Copies of this chain bind each other. A is one copy, B any other.
Amino acid sequence: MALAAQPQMPRVWRAETKPHKFCPGCGHGIILKALGEAIDALGIQERTIFGCDIGCSLLSWDFFNLDTIQTHHGRTTPVLVGIKRVRPELVVVSYMGDGGAYAIGAQHLVSSAVRNDLVTIIVVNNTQYGMTGGQMAPTTLPGQKTETTPYGRDVKLTGRPILGPELVAAVAPPGAYVARGSIANVVQLKNFIQKGLLNQIEGRGIAFIEALSACPTNWRTNAAETWRFIEKEMAAYFPTGELRTPGEAKNGQAGEGTPGAPEH
């Protein structure tokens, strides 16, 4: 070979900041590879803005050759919605953890879904709060031990794992794209993300993709246990697949034509 072998990073990855800041075996890296490949495939590097949350997603603040804004915990979507409203030609990607999306930022998620904001949201479901050292998240599995459920999550007291895409699908209007993928199926995940970006580009509506991820550091798992946890334990609670694809009619929602205003 004439040329020295080089890593097959997506073009939009910034090689200068690699190895990235995530832990060994962290699922974030795989998801950001899928995202990078989707951006490459669509050729939208020049107009994509990447936003990351507080949570381990913040470690991607210098990950891409993309203009990037690292925001507060749970506030990534509002910041990107703020950008999108004044710069509709841009493609905005809101990247965050399950805590940011489903706990502290749930009002933003619900509202963006209801407004059908033109934003692509990727939520990394690692069943707990990674960055703060492994506390319970809304996604924590029943019986799962975390730092704040040291004796296992008690569903009676703390509830069952939240189904994020199902939540979004329940309130988003037609035009929304909603899916759940997994790092256990990278090709599908990339496909979902790419469709989610396209949904925004074509102005159809919100795109929401949850990605089942791995946090070996806080799970305290070796590689084999990591895969087993994602593919067995998590998969049992979080089914992967597409929940909403644009155009699909939404039941219980009246048509556009219904007049709404009381006469003043």
What's the nearest-Cβ distance from chain B to residue A163, in Å?
6
Q: Report chain B residues within 8 Å CB of A152.
A: 260-261
Number of chain A residues whose Cβ lies closer than 8 Å to a Cβ of chain B: 54
CB of A21 closer than 8 Å to a CB of B:
no
Is B256 a contact of A236 with CB atoms below 8 Å? no
Which of the candidate stretches A33-41, A45-53, A107-115, A190-198 sits at the interface with the other chain? Answer: A107-115
Interface-located stretch among A1-9, A64-72, A219-227: A219-227
Partner pick for A166 among B142, B157, B160, B171, CB 8 A cutoff: B171
Question: Among B104, B166, B169, B236, which residue has its beta carbon within 8 angstroms of that of A254?
Answer: B236
Chain A 214-264 residues near chain B, CB threshold 8 A:
219-221, 225, 228-229, 233, 236-237, 239, 252-254, 256, 258-264
A83 lies within 8 A of chain B by Cβ: no
Q: How far is the CA of A241 from the CA of B110 in the complex (A)?
A: 23
A247–B239 Cα distance when bound, in Å, is 22
| Per-residue interface assignment for chain A, residues 103 to 139, with 1 indicating a CB less than 8 Å from any chain B CB and 0 otherwise | 1111100110011100000000000000000000010
Name the distance in Å between A75's Cβ and chain B's nearest Cβ: 12
What B residues does A219 contact at CB under 8 A?
Answer: 262, 264
Residue of B nearest to A105 (CB): B107
Take A166-B170, A170-B166 as given contacts and tell me if A141 and B110 are in contact as well, using a CB distance cutoff of 8 Å.
no
CA distance A86 to B250 in the complex (A): 41
In the complex, which residue of chain B has the Cβ closest to the Cβ of A229?
A: B262
| CB closest chain-B residue, reference A107 | B106
Whether A14 sits at the interface, judged by CB under 8 Å, is no
Residue in B closest to A149 when the chains form the complex, CB atoms: B261
- The answer to whether the Cβ of A187 comes within 8 Å of any Cβ in the partner chain is no
Please determine whether B160 and A170 come into contact, CB atoms closer than 8 angstroms.
no
Majority secondary structure of chain A interface residues (helix, strand, loop or mixed): loop
Near B by CB (< 8 A), chain A positions 87-115 give 102-107, 110-111, 114-115
Identify 22 residue pairs between A and B in the complex whose beta-carbon atoms are under 8 Å apart, listed by A's number. Answer: A106-B106, A107-B107, A110-B167, A111-B138, A115-B158, A141-B260, A141-B261, A143-B260, A143-B261, A144-B261, A145-B261, A155-B256, A159-B173, A163-B252, A166-B170, A166-B252, A169-B170, A170-B170, A219-B264, A233-B259, A236-B254, A239-B252
Contact of A167 among B153, B160, B170, B236 (CB under 8 A): B170
What chain B residues lie within 8 Å of A103 (beta carbons)? Answer: 107, 111
